[in-house]
Amino acid sequence: MRKRAFITILLPCCIFLLQAADSTGAVPSCVFMAQQDDSGKVLSAFVSEMTASAAGFSYSYVIDDGRTEIMGEGTVEMQGESYIVKGNGLEIISDGMTRWTVDRQSMEAVVESCDPENPDFTVNPAVLLRHFYSAFSVSGHDRTASGYDYVLVPVSSDTDISSLELGLSADGSALLSAVLKMKDGTVADFTVRSFAFSAPSDPGRFHFDPSSLSSDYIITDLR
């Protein structure tokens, strides 16, 4: 289940990389470096909107490690450090402190702590923001028919990520695509559909109620 959960939250990982504000309201260096032209303004607009708003979208993906390809699709709801991701037969619900991964077909559930200071981004992708928001730079960008493509690269070599490529709409109001490349050659290619920002709503929707699971479920508590 853990491997499927990691694959399922790869795209939220990409999004959290671009959220502009940590607890100090800092703006990532990648935005400063791109603000010299219209492409920088588009990236900045997207980052700013991610900071202030909730977001929802559906997506499909292909992950290729050079030996096999894994394909799938899912949906995402995000607000601050909380998210709900559904895909690969899993439901993953996190309020930023606790993450529940539920497999309703096999009737299994895993609950884990996701302390914002915990460096394990496979448990909480928001941790990527805490550790990487100032460590990426824009190495290139291109104007496309639908908007702009950006290539972000980590400043430090102490990461498994090689690059993150993002496609944004021309006005910075939507994420269109994301390609995450790892140093081991694995490439995760995401196509995003129906991306939309919305006003933040009740954060209670990101709190999972374990009483909603029947007594037949096997629950593994890793906290």
- Residue 51: phi and psi, rounded to 5, are -70, -40
pLDDT of residue 106: 93
Residue 157, classified by CB atoms within 10 Å of its CB into exposed (0-12), middle (13-18) or buried (19+), is: exposed
Q: Which domain holds residue 62?
A: 2-221
pLDDT of residue 23: 36
Q: What is the pTM of this model?
A: 0.75
Q: Which of 191, 190, 186, 165 is nearest to 64 (CA)?
A: 186
Q: What does pLDDT average to in each consecutive run of 10 residues of the chain (223 residues)?
A: 53 53 42 59 79 86 88 86 84 89 93 66 42 63 90 79 88 88 89 91 93 95 90
Distance of CA 186 to the CA centre of its chain: 17
pLDDT of residue 206: 93
d(CA 111, CA 220): 6
d(CA 120, CA 47): 23
Q: Which of 40, 5, 11 is nearest to 128 (CA)?
A: 11
**Token digits of residue 174:** 């939507």
pLDDT of residue 156: 73
pLDDT of residue 79: 86
Domain CATH code at residue 44: 2.50.20.10
pLDDT of residue 178: 85
- Total tally of structural domains belonging to the chain: 1
Q: Which of 186, 154, 179, 153 is nearest to 165 (CA)?
A: 179
Q: Which of 106, 107, 126, 108 is nearest to 116 (CA)?
A: 126
pLDDT of residue 39: 78
pLDDT of residue 12: 59
pLDDT of residue 104: 92
Element (H, E) at 10: helix 10-18
